[in-house]
Amino acid sequence: MQASPVHVSSDDLYLFNTGQLFQAYRTFGAHVTHWEGREGVRFVLWAPGAREVNVVGDFNGWNGWNKVVDMRPAGSTGIWVGFGPGLREGDRYKYEILGADGERRLKSDPFGFRSELRPNTASIVAKLDRYEWSDGEWMGARAGRKPYDRPMLIYEAHLGSWRMDAPEQFRDYGRLAEELVDYVCGMGYTHIEILPIAEHPFDRSWGYQATGYFAATSRYGPPEGLQKLVDNCHRRGIGVLLDWVCGHFCKDDHGLRRFDGSPQYEPADYRMAEKPLWGTLAFDFGKPQVQSFLLSNALFWLDVYHIDGLRVDAVASMIDLNFDKPEEMRTTNLYGGTENVEALQFLRKLNETVFRYYPESLMMAEDSSSYPGVTSPTYLGGLGFNYKWNMGWMNDMLRYMETDPEHRSSRHSLITFSMHYAFSENYVLPLSHDEVVHGKRSLLNKMPGPYPEKFANLRLLYGYWMTHPGKKLLFMGGEFGQFDEWKDYAGLDWDLLRYPLHDSMRKYTERLNAVYAARPALWELDHRPEGFEWIDVNNAPQRMLSFQRNGGEAERPIVTVCNFSRDGYGAYRIGVSSPGTYELVLNSDESDFGGSGAPMPTRVSASEAPMHGKSYSIEVPVPALSIQLWQSEASSRGHEDM
């Protein structure tokens, strides 16, 4: 990123103050440059309420009276500009701000590109244009990829605890670029989603409470290491998504809170500013300069780090003025409603801006609300995301699976209701970190029954998840049956792979991933009703479920048979759409996967025995707590209407 000299153009000043400087990181922050024949660092800061701004660091003994950098206001714009001759990359610095309230504060740079390793909090002058990228082929092909009719299987990872040598001894970005990427490729995932990596002071916030929005956390090494991690993903054919938090920020003194001695980034009304559930502050989404800051930050990760998309955290908390707030903090908007109109406008602007600059990006809303049109275009009144996490499916599915199989018949609708709205948005089906922390137990430990039965239930859950319409996301450790809930302060329990059931679970997940990727019927029509067809949706007494996934005209349908009970059946008849032979694609009860290994035919022939409203049917054995996938050897199109 090439900085301008100490002069800042009037265009940039105007655009920033009107919410339209979408690459503000090229202007603001600390940039190594030349000015009047001298090399040094230019500093640009927005602090409209400040009476005085000084840059302090090792170079002046952290003493604002020793003015190595002469920071001056750029007219009445609220922006301060200065040049430090002789300063260089690697220098530590903060802003000493005499605020509107008369107090002096030391603040990290909101646009700082690198931070000290916590618990230290200074910003560090850094260049981010040194890394030599080798992902040109990926970046060139990315524009032609349409995500909706392609497989998407996301591995969600917290970089600090994926593998750990000892407490707080994290793998660095460079090591993860080899080990994590090798693992994800070997398991057959298409994307990695990384929990937030903007600099944050507290490890156990997992990055969701940030202070340095433009600084990749120093916990895992320098910025070039993260660039290498993304680069290696791309060279291996893996997309990279980043959890991005624009809904709130933490209150630490060196961060954004009362940055210039007044509510600068947060709303002035404490009822709007405070997030009591998390102890954080909301951004003032209606303030143009905050819009420039946040929109630039979104583009920054896509530009400087080649990130392929953003998962926007906590959308429900942004768009509801009273989300988890006590009665005395509740407010209404200008129209008397509880929608945060400014947040809704910001989210539309966010997606419009991202897709203007990076039309191939993935923009995903982590939204637990029922707000309509999250993935509809903004010109139709939608929010403009291209994906939304299906939190309703996740909650219903886990409630059902946690129920003892003997009692599941009364809860049958929990696993069928999602199809009433499955095509109202473009959905991702998340089995994420949020479901395996804070006493919720791991996915494996949620499953009822003795240890082997827990694995059978988990294989069944994953099979149904993989064949249900929607893209997929699984949190790390779920693939091998992590038994303890996620411990953010320690690495995953990789030693479990020494035990047969856990190793078999990993093999099953790898096989399921491969089946998914190789069969377009499981993803080609994910967002269209013709891609899904119930066969038998009403067999609650036996806790059985069967359906068909369809791809394009040339694709062979896949019939899925789920048995959520402890009762097995030696011969179970299922209606199918076409005659001919059906091949067994996957059987979760195989001994290699930890199942019983009961005999199972690899092919069956359909007979002209009507069943489930179909003219043909197949008869197959169905083990207890199992899922099977059968694929016809000829397309069913033309035999019966889909």
- Report how many domains make up the chain: 3
pLDDT band at 90 (very low <50, low <70, confident <90, very high): very high
Give pLDDT tens digits for 451-464: 999 999 999 999 99
Amino acid 180: pLDDT: 98
What is the percentage of the chain residues whose pLDDT exceeds 70? 98
Pairing status of strand 362-365 against strand 309-312: parallel
Backbone dihedral angles phi then psi of residue 532, each to the nearest 5 degrees: -140, 140
Residue 72 belongs to some domain of the structure: yes
H helices within 197-320, ranges in order? 223-235, 270-273, 288-304, 315-319
Task: Choose the catalytic residue: 313, 435, 479, 590.
Answer: 313
SS3 content of the chain, % helix, strand, coil (to 5): 30, 25, 45
User: Among 473, 493, 520, which residue terminates a domain?
Assistant: 520
- Determine the Cα–Cα distance for residues 627 and 253; give it in Å rounded to an integer: 53
Same domain flag for 397 and 350: yes
CA distance 497 to 554: 40
- The beta-carbon contacts of 9-13 under 8 Å, at least 24 apart in sequence, are 13/74, 13/75, 13/77, 13/79
Pairing of strands 198-199, 427-431: unpaired
Q: Are residues 317 and 412 in the same domain?
A: yes
Nearest Cα to 385, choosing from 458, 457, 313? 313
Which run of H or of E encompasses 351?
A: helix 341-357
Helix (H, G, I), strand (E, B) or coil at 498: helix
Task: State the Cα–Cα distance between residues 98 and 53, nearest whole angstrom.
Answer: 6
248 in a structural domain: no
Residue 636: pLDDT band (50, 70, 90) is low
Catalytic residue among 243, 266, 274, 366: 366
Q: What is the pLDDT of residues 589-610, one digit of tens each?
A: 999 999 999 999 999 999 999 9
Lowest-pLDDT choice from 163-177, 178-192, 523-537 = 163-177
Res 392 pLDDT > 90: yes
496 & 559 share domain? no
pLDDT tens-digit readout, 320-371: 999 999 999 999 999 999 999 999 999 999 999 999 999 999 999 999 999 9
Q: What is the CATH number of the domain that holds 84?
A: 2.60.40.10
What is the residue range of 118's domain? 10-124
What sign does the dihedral 501-505-507-512 (CA atoms) show? positive
Tell me, yes or no, whether 179 lies in a domain.
yes
Evaluate whether 193 touches 307 at the Cβ level (below 8 Å). Answer: no
Question: Are 404 and 484 within one domain?
Answer: yes
Say if residue 446 is in the same domain as residue 353. yes
Q: Are 314 and 170 in the same domain?
A: yes
**Rounded average pLDDT over 395-416:** 98
pLDDT at 145: 84
Residue 639 is assigned to a structural domain of this protein: no
Q: Is residue 378 part of a domain?
A: yes
Considering 457, 487, 520, which residue would you say is the last residue of a domain? 520
Beta strands in 133-176 (DSSP E): 153-157, 164-166, 169-170
With respect to residue 258, please indicate whether it lies within any of the assigned structural domains.
no
Q: State residue 553's pLDDT score.
A: 85
CB 543, CB 536: distance < 8 Å: no
Q: Rounded to whole angstroms, how far apart are CA atoms 338 and 324?
A: 12
Per the CB < 8 A criterion, the answer to whether 462 and 509 are in contact is: yes
Cα–Cα nearest to 555, from 575, 588, 535, 528: 528
Please check whether residues 337 and 388 belong to one and the same domain.
yes
Sequence-distant (6+) residues with CB within 8 A of 614 are: 535, 575, 576, 577, 640
For 394, 512, 531, 532, 641, the CA distances from 522, given in Å and listed in that order, are: 19, 11, 8, 9, 19
The structure tokens 């759409």 sit at 577
Question: Which whole number is the average pLDDT over 251-270?
Answer: 97
Q: Is 313 a catalytic residue?
A: yes
Last residue of a domain, one of 464, 488, 520: 520
Residue 424 domain flag: yes
**How high is the pLDDT of residue 169?**
86
Q: According to the model, what pLDDT value does residue 167 have? A: 81
What's the whole-number mean pLDDT along residues 286-300? Answer: 98
The letter for the amino acid at 76 is S
Same-domain check for residues 190 and 289: yes
Query: What is the rounded average pLDDT of the residues 58-70?
Result: 94
- Ranges of H-type helices in 387-435: 391-402
pLDDT at 638 over 70: no
d(CA 333, CA 271): 12
Residues 494 and 505 in one domain: yes
CATH (domain of 296): 3.20.20.80
Mean pLDDT, range 264-274, rounded to an integer: 97
Q: How remote is the C-alpha of 228 from its chain's centroid?
A: 20
Q: Name the β-bridge partners of 617.
A: 575, 607
pLDDT value for 2: 36
pLDDT category of residue 635 using cuts at 50, 70 and 90: low
Q: What's the pLDDT band for 626 if we cut at 50, 70, 90?
A: very high
Q: Is the pLDDT of residue 640 over 80?
A: no
> What proportion of the chain, given as a percentage, has pLDDT over 90?
94
Average of per-residue pLDDT across 284-297: 98
pLDDT at 144: 83
Q: Does residue 537 surpass a pLDDT of 60?
A: yes
- For residues 366 and 507, state if they share a domain: yes
Across the chain, mean pLDDT equals 95
pLDDT reported for residue 3: 37
Distance CA(528)–CA(109), nearest Å, equals: 46
Tell me if 500 is assigned to some domain: yes
CB-based contact 257:282 (threshold 8 Å): no
- pLDDT of residue 642 exceeding 90: no
Query: Do residue 318 and residue 184 come from a single domain?
Result: yes
Within this chain, do residues 340 and 444 fall inside the same structural domain, yes or no?
yes
- Helix, strand or coil for residue 58? helix
> 196 — alpha (psi -120 to 50), left (phi > 0) or beta?
beta
Q: What CATH number corresponds to the domain at position 571?
A: 2.60.40.1180
- Label residue 445 exposed, middle or buried (CB < 10 Å: 0-12, 13-18, 19+): middle
